[in-house]
Amino acid sequence: MPVMEEKGYVIMKTLDISHIPDAEWESLAYMDWKSGGDTNFAPLASCDGTLECKGFWENGKPDKHALFTPNTDKCPNLMAYIKSIPANFGRVRIIKLEPQNHDQALRSVHRDDNNRLNPEGEGWVVRMWIELTDNPDSYMLLYDSDENNLPIKESETHVPMPKGAHFVVDSQRLWHVGVHNGTKPRYAAIISCESSPELNEWIKSKM
Rounded CA-CA distance 74/28 in Å is 7
User: Can you list the residues of the chain whose pLDDT is less than 50?
Assistant: none
pLDDT number for residue 33: 87
23 SS3 class: helix
Burial class (CB in 10 A: 0-12, 13-18, 19+), 177: buried
- Sheet with 157-161: list strands edge to edge: 157-161, 135-143, 175-179
How many CA atoms lie within 13 Å of 68's alpha carbon, on the beta-carbon side? 12
- pLDDT at residue number 205: 98
176 Cβ contact partners less than 8 Å away, ≥ 6 residues apart: 36, 109, 110, 111, 140, 141, 142, 143, 169
Q: pTM for this structure? A: 0.96
Domain coordinates of the chain in residue numbers? Answer: 2-205
Q: Which CATH number is 2-205 given?
A: 2.60.120.330
Q: What is the CA radius of gyration of the chain?
A: 16
